[in-house]
Homo-oligomer: A and B are copies of this chain.
Amino acid sequence: MRILIAGGDGFCGWPTALHFSARGHEVAIVDSLIRRQWDEELGTQSLTPIYSLEERVSAWKEHSGREIRTYIGDLTDYSLVERVFRDFQPEAVVHYAEQRSAPYSMIDREHAVFTQVNNVVGTLNVLYAIKEITPDCHLIKLGTMGEYGTPNIDIEEGYIRIQHKGREDVLPYPKQPFSFYHLSKVHDSHNIMFACKAWGIRATDLNQGVVYGLWTDETRVEERLFNRVDYDGVFGTALNRFCIQAAVGHDLTVYGKGGQTRAFLDIRDTVQCVELAALHPADAGEFRVFNQFTEQFSVLELAQRVKRVAEEMGIRANIAHLPNPRVEKEEHYYNAVHTKLIDLGLKPHLLSDDIIRELILTAQRYKDRVNFDVIKPTASWR
């Protein structure tokens, strides 16, 4: 299959590109490399050393004998999108090319506006390119479980059957996102749903949980293929951040009580889920939604688990409850359905002490790269 990975230089995109290439698919990456600029803006960097995209793909060629084509440019520039689609003629597009940090979107007005315009316009451009150039191309779009918020009923996969005043319909699941970033994903979902209905586009929206880990079979081969991993207060996410904090002797920073329950998955399951979606495409005109995660944990539960594993490794770890910079419920009902990817054949890698241990060891190896000043949350929701 000819598969285009938009955002293929990023945390999920790079391992996805390698995963498909390793399985014999024809892979191209389009990426503006802006994620690397945000590191400079924020004075941080990936815990692991990461090589330039050029070096990454040539290392992959050396190891696998396979080419990954690269296009450098921004999806908000339609002339670039058009050129990529005409040139590569993708049969599927995996669209990761969005600003993906909630705290980044909450820094100030400029960052909120940037996040929404960047994400919404990039996705609109991809939809138009599919419509105009490759109408049969399957759009695999990364959404987020954060689109749903924390309703007091079970979260379904994209749609819910509602009985109301003696009538019944299946309607899009109501969304209560947490930040301007999460809102941008909700906007995308609505736009894509409409494009499927109006133009007959086939799309899968993967509402992904929080991803942990960084190693896949391909990214661990050698340093030039390493994946990035973030520990800072803006791009670092729970679990990965806790492991790195434990490794470098920093408090594990839990926001508020830590009763916030979220959905999680291993990065090896990210690439597996995306592959399953690509191998079983949506029908023409279908807007399909999968909840892409394997387990639910409260934030405090994860911090406690990291603390225990760290202590078994002889590392003293302390949990610090910081004032919550976010506006969110710290205790709430949470139960999200996630059977559709299992039905397609997903074999989950559940969270193990081994993976926590490996994350801590990775972090210890690269602890000299950590800037302690950027660990605390800086963006406030209020």
Quick one: which of A112-164 are within 8 Å of B by CB? 112-113, 116-117, 120-121, 124-125, 128, 151-154, 160, 162-164
**Are B174 and A180 closer than 8 Å at their CB atoms?**
no
**Are B194 and A183 closer than 8 Å at their CB atoms?**
yes
Interface flag for A197 (CB, 8 Å): yes
Taken together as a complex, chains A and B put the C-alpha atoms of A190 and B125 apart, in Å, by 22
Residues of B contacting A224 in the complex (Cβ-Cβ under 8 angstroms): none
Listed residue (A160, A176, A333, A381) with the most chain B CB atoms within 10 angstroms of its CB: A176
Residues of B contacting A128 in the complex (Cβ-Cβ under 8 angstroms): 109, 112
Interface flag for A23 (CB, 8 Å): no
**Are A198 and B327 closer than 8 Å at their CB atoms?**
yes
**Are A121 and B125 closer than 8 Å at their CB atoms?**
no
**Are B198 and A382 closer than 8 Å at their CB atoms?**
yes
List the number of copies, as a whole number.
2
Taken together as a complex, chains A and B put the C-alpha atoms of A98 and B359 apart, in Å, by 49
Residue on B with the closest CB to A326? B198
Binding-face segment, A25-33, A165-173, A242-250 = A165-173
Given B113, B186, B191, B193, which contacts A180 in the complex, CB threshold below 8 Å?
Answer: B191
Closest chain-B Cβ to A208's Cβ sits at a distance in Å of 19
**Are A169 and B153 closer than 8 Å at their CB atoms?**
yes
Residues of B contacting A178 in the complex (Cβ-Cβ under 8 angstroms): 194
Taken together as a complex, chains A and B put the C-alpha atoms of A128 and B180 apart, in Å, by 12
Residues of B contacting A71 in the complex (Cβ-Cβ under 8 angstroms): none
**Are A186 and B190 closer than 8 Å at their CB atoms?**
yes
Interface flag for A175 (CB, 8 Å): yes
**Are A165 and B154 closer than 8 Å at their CB atoms?**
yes
Residue on B with the closest CB to A197? B327
Given B78, B124, B152, B190, which contacts A177 in the complex, CB threshold below 8 Å?
Answer: B190
Closest 3 CB pairs of A and B: A171-B174, A152-B169, A153-B164
Interface flag for A38 (CB, 8 Å): no
Taken together as a complex, chains A and B put the C-alpha atoms of A327 and B98 apart, in Å, by 29
Interface flag for A357 (CB, 8 Å): no
Residues of B contacting A168 in the complex (Cβ-Cβ under 8 angstroms): 152-153
